[in-house]
Copies of this chain bind each other. A is one copy, B any other.
């Protein structure tokens, strides 16, 4: 399964006081992530019923490309910049059923 396309759904919930700063930090991830090897798409969304809740819908050419993303410079910078701003993160690794 390791060489098949990996879909990642990442739900990120902001602490209420940090909504705008976290939103900016998430947006800042998009351009460098799309430039990464193996990134097919990296789409950020905000929930209509809970403005604190964000969701990335991501597809990667393989799980190892996503592993590289998780230790990329921009992810590390994001983690540092948004320390204390995040209430909860849930990550789901999936494959598409055609």
- What is the CA–CA distance of A92 and B26 in the complex, to the nearest angstrom? 19
**Considering the chains assembled together, what is the distance between the CA atoms of A43 and B9 in angstroms?**
13
Which residues does chain B contribute within 8 Å of A93, judged by CB atoms? 47-49
With a 10 A CB-CB cut-off, give which of A45, A48, A54, A55 has the most chain B CB atoms.
A45
Question: Chain A at the B interface: mostly helix, strand, loop or mixed?
Answer: strand
The count of identical subunits is 2
Q: Which residues of A contact B (CB under 8 A)?
A: 1, 7, 9, 23, 26-27, 43-49, 53-55, 57, 92-97
- Interface pairs (15), CB distance under 8 Å: A1-B48, A7-B45, A9-B45, A26-B97, A27-B97, A43-B96, A44-B96, A44-B97, A45-B97, A46-B95, A46-B97, A48-B93, A54-B97, A55-B94, A57-B57
